[in-house]
Amino acid sequence: MAVVGDIAAYPAFTIKQDASVVAAARVMRDEEVGDVMVVDSDGRLVGMLTDRDVAVRVVAAGRDPETTTVAEVCTPDPISIRGVAPLEEAEHLLRTHLIHRLPVVDADGRPIGLVSLEDLAVTSYVEDHELRDLVKAIARSYQLRSTAIP
């Protein structure tokens, strides 16, 4: 049985919740990633910050990225999964919560990696038509959410 840890992308790129949005954007730039996992002082996952969050919740909202902390604009309490969980569970969480990326955490809730729709797609675990339906559902969800963002 394949588990999430077999296909997850490593390492997890993290930033502390009290860091500035500029610091987070620099991590994204330097690591060539579109998101970072936000952690508390103990290194436990408390949020996700994406490049889209920076664009919409900071830049478009006219906030100062030097003084705005990632905790203020990240998505709090993201859905996550343990590396030992079966791939079926990852697919279920992505589908149920209509998300693209799923943080992979250890037993203490500390990020160790990330699993995405793309990771599932390249494994041939998900049938093409199922993946297409999932991507469509997520796209519709983003369209609905984008009209509700202040």
Sheet holding 81-82, edge to edge: 81-82, 101-105, 111-116
| pLDDT for position 27 | 97
CB atoms within 10 A of CB 128: 9
Nearest to 80 by CA among 12, 20, 17: 12
Could you give all domains of the chain from N- to C-terminal order, each with its CATH number? 4-146 (3.10.580.10)
What is the rounded distance in angstroms from the CA atom of residue 27 to the CA atom of residue 14?
Answer: 8
| pLDDT for position 94 | 87
| pLDDT for position 118 | 78
Q: What is the pTM of this model?
A: 0.82
Contact 89, 15 (CB under 8 A): no
Per-residue pLDDT tens over the stretch 133-150:
766 666 666 555 555 545
